[in-house]
């Protein structure tokens, strides 16, 4: 309806073809086939232990596929990693505590020099990115002087510094209080609209999945595999008060039922 | 910069009670110490304890006043050995810790030997080291260094390994090389661990230096302790002991100040 959910004719950001991940004899993910269109916002839901995080680690070349293939923008995950096509935001901000906010954002520009490919410089300077996430004036603060929400915003700015095409987020706001989470959700959507980055966002909150996602990927556990992909056709740009609408609640209750019989 | 900017804010929260609290915190131990010294002074005089068994605090003070030249002459050799041992022992420990973290094989091969050397009492191994390195400066520095070595090795290995798994995943996503991970992540992460070991080493290196001077030295606080003991010059012995602990406090303070400057997070 909104024109962005349709992948026809658009380029593909990530393709998984029959991809599996095994830890010894344990199958964490089995036979995952997906096409993630460029510029889309996907949220990933599923019962705990269904391999949500494993899937992000598969896409980000942290884990190798046991079977099948994963491609990012037509490249292998390794080539995409070397070219900085994607960035990762962890549940914990994972900032280096001895570096200021600005120095943390600059970290990706300093590391990986020996990999033989020049480090891509984004359109925005680290300082502008801190401004984008609303941390102007705090660039010299050390992580322990920032709140949890601020730290996570520094982590997002750091992820954007090489201007990735694909942003992988593993429950980035899971540890934050609801007010902060709402604010950061809206800020993230703004960044997404502005930069056109493709987002893969793992969450265990159904409202968050519906509020952010154009598509919700529902995984099922033991072994982890795709249960269904739900298109969320809500008016854009999304806002927090969308949660009080009947449509939103329909999607939420549908996903809740789907999650229950996983 | 940010730290110094934040400090006044923190201090402004409740300035009057904090100053009062600080004075009380300082007054209690100082008062206790003065009281104990007074009891000692009057106890020694009242029970007429001979000076060579237990000198009065005023006798010890008199040594500091009249014979300070002797104390100072013997202070500097011990200071030099302590500081040289501190640097040599800790540097060796840091380098070996770096090797251990990068090579499991090296850790498996040499860590048990390091533990074994650490179990030998310093007093027992000191004569062996004097036989090996001769009675000069080298053996003394080795003894002072050896006593610093083990705590720093253990702490440094732990510090270098204290990088979180997520931080290492971040490094992998950034395609960081091993040396980049070492210089930008492992080494800074290890600093708090290193400094807690260095604080231990700041006091133990003085013990090592004094023990080394017990075995064939004619200058230094260790030699002065032996000399004063054998000649029943108890006030001098006590003054030397205070000089030794003063040296430890000095080195400990220097390490603490350095830590404040380096570890700001």
DSSP string over A239-252: -GGGGGSHHHHHHH
Res. B15 pLDDT band, cuts 50 70 90: low
Q: Kindly list the residues from chain A whose CB atom is less than 8 angstroms away from the CB atom of residue B169.
A: 57, 62, 88, 90
Q: Are A44 and A201 a contacting pair, CB within 8 Å? A: yes
Residues 194-233, chain B, touching A (beta carbon < 8 A)? none
Please say if the pLDDT value at position B143 is more than 80: yes
Calpha distance A69→A34 (Å, rounded): 11
B265/A144 CB distance under 8 A: yes
CB A26 within 8 A of CB A49: no
| Angle, in degrees to the nearest 10, between helices B104-119 and B68-102 | 150
The torsion defined by the Cα of A22, A23, A24 and A30, in degrees rounded to 10, comes to -20
Give the pLDDT of residue A6: 43
Query: In whole angstroms, what is the distance from residue A44 CA to residue A213 CA?
Result: 9
Taking an 8 Å cut-off on Cβ atoms, the answer to whether A88 and B175 are in contact is no
Q: How far is A110 from chain B (nearest CA, A)?
A: 9
User: What burial class does residue A118 get, using C-beta atoms within 10 Å of its C-beta: 0-12 exposed, 13-18 middle, 19+ buried?
Assistant: exposed
pLDDT of res. B9: 47
Check pLDDT > 50 for residue B171.
Answer: yes
- Tell me how close the Cα of B170 comes to any Cα of chain A, in angstroms: 8
The residue of chain B with its CA nearest to that of A155 is B170
Q: Where are the alpha helices (DSSP H) in chain A?
A: 52-59, 77-82, 101-110, 126-132, 148-160, 178-195, 206-212, 246-260
Tally of CB atoms within 10 A around B170 = 28
Q: Which of B8, B9, B165, B174 to mutate to test the interface with A (most CBs of A within 10 A)?
A: B174
Which chain A residue is nearest to residue B264, measuring alpha carbons?
Answer: A98
Angstrom distance (rounded) from CA A176 to CA A203: 12
Rounded to whole angstroms, what are the CA distances from B239 to B49, B204, B244, B249? 18, 20, 9, 15
Report the 10 Å Cβ neighbour count for A230: 19
Decide: helix, strand or coil at residue A216.
Answer: strand
Q: Give the residue from chain A lying closest to B187, CA to CA.
A: A98
pLDDT tens by residue, chain A, 262 residues? 343 444 444 688 999 998 999 898 888 888 899 999 999 999 999 888 888 999 999 999 999 999 999 999 989 999 999 999 999 999 999 999 999 999 999 999 999 888 778 888 888 999 999 998 989 999 999 999 999 999 999 999 999 999 999 999 999 998 888 888 998 999 999 999 988 999 999 999 999 999 999 999 999 888 888 888 999 888 888 888 888 888 888 899 999 998 887 7
Query: Rounded to a whole number, what is the distance in Å from the CA of B157 to chain A's nearest CA?
Result: 19
The pLDDT value recorded for residue B84 is 97
Q: Which residues numbered 140-199 in B keep a CB inside 8 Å of some CB on A?
A: 164, 166-167, 169-177, 180, 184-185, 188, 191
Residue B200 C-alpha, separation from nearest chain A C-alpha, in angstroms: 23
Q: Are residues B184 and A107, on separate chains, in Cβ contact within 8 Å?
A: yes
Q: CB of B264 within 8 Å of any CB in chain A? A: yes
Contacts of A88 (CB under 8 A, 6+ apart): A56, A60, A159, A168, A169, A170, B169, B170, B173
Nearest-by-Cβ selection for A94 from B170, B172, B265: B170
End-to-end CA distance of chain B: 12
Q: How is residue B199 written in tokens?
A: 């604080």
Other Cβ atoms closer than 10 A to B157: 21
Section B200-224 average pLDDT: 92
Which chain A residues are Cβ-neighbours of B182 within 8 angstroms? none
Probe site for chain B from A112, A140, A151, A171 (most B CB atoms < 10 A): A112
B241, pLDDT greater than 90:
yes
Give pLDDT, residue B3. Answer: 44
Write out chain B residues lying below 8 Å of A54, CB-based.
none
What are A174's two structure tokens?
């899971």
pLDDT at A10: 64
Beta carbons of A112 and B172 less than 8 Å apart: no
- B7 reaches A (C-beta below 8 A): no
Q: Give yes or no for a contact between B75 and B243, defined as CB atoms under 8 angstroms apart.
A: yes
Quick one: which H or E segment has residue B70? helix B68-102
Which residues of chain B lie closer than 8 angstroms to A86, CB-CB? 173
Rounded Cα–Cα distance for residues B171 and B180 (Å): 9
């Amino acid at each position: 309806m909104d024109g962005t959910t349709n992948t026809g004719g658009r380029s593909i950001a990530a393709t998984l073809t029959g991809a599996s991940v095994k830890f010894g004899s344990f199958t964490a993910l089995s036979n995952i086939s997906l096409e993630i269109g460029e510029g889309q916002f996907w949220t990933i839901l599923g019962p705990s232990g269904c391999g949500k995080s494993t899937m992000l680690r598969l896409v980000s070349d942290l884990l190798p596929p046991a079977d099948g293939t994963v491609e990012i923008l037509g490249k292998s995950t390794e080539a995409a990693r070397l070219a900085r096509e994607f960035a990762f935001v962890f549940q914990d901000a994972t900032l280096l505590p001895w570096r200021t906010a600005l120095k943390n954002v600059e970290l990706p520009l300093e590391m990986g020099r020996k990999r033989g490919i020049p480090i891509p410089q984004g359109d925005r300077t680290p300082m502008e990115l801190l401004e984008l996430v609303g941390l102007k004036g705090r660039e010299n603060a050390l992580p322990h002087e920032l709140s949890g929400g601020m730290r996570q915003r520094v982590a997002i700015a750091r992820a954007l510094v090489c201007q990735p095409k694909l942003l992988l987020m593993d429950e980035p706001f899971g540890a934050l209080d609801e007010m902060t989470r709402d604010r950061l959700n809206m800020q993230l959507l703004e960044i997404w609209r502005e930069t056109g980055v493709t987002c893969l966002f793992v969450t265990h909150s159904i409202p968050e999945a519906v509020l952010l996602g154009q598509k919700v990927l529902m995984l099922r556990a033991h072994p982890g595999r795709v249960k269904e992909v739900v298109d969320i056709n809500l008016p854009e740009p999304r806002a927090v008060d969308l949660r009080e609408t009947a449509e939103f609640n329909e999607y939420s209750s549908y996903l809740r039922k789907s999650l229950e019989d996983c | 910069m940010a730290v110094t900017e934040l400090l006044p804010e923190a201090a402004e929260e409740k300035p009057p009670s904090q100053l009062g609290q600080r004075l009380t915190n300082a007054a209690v131990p100082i008062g206790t110490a003065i009281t104990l010294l007074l009891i000692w002074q009057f106890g020694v005089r009242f029970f007429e304890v001979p000076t060579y068994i237990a000198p009065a605090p005023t006798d010890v003070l008199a040594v500091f006043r009249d014979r300070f030249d002797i104390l100072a002459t013997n202070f500097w050799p011990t200071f030099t050995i302590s500081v040289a041992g501190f640097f040599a022992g800790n540097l060796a420990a840091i380098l070996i810790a770096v090797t251990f973290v990068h090579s499991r094989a090296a850790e498996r091969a040499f860590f048990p030997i390091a533990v074994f050397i650490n179990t030998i009492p310093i007093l027992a191994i000191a004569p062996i080291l004097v036989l090996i390195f001769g009675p000069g400066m080298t053996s003394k520095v080795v003894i002072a260094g050896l006593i610093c070595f083990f705590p720093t090795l253990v702490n440094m290995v732990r510090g270098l390994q204290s990088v979180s798994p997520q931080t290492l995943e971040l490094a992998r996503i950034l395609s960081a090389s091993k040396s980049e991970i070492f210089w930008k992540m492992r080494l800074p992460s290890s600093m708090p661990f290193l400094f807690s070991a260095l604080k231990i080493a700041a006091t133990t290196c003085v013990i090592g230096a004094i023990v080394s001077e017990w075995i064939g030295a004619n200058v230094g606080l260790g030699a002065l302790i032996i000399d004063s003991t054998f000649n029943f010059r108890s006030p001098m012995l006590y003054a030397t002991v205070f000089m030794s602990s003063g040296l430890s406090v000095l080195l400990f303070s220097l390490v603490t100040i350095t830590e404040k400057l380096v570890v700001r997070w």
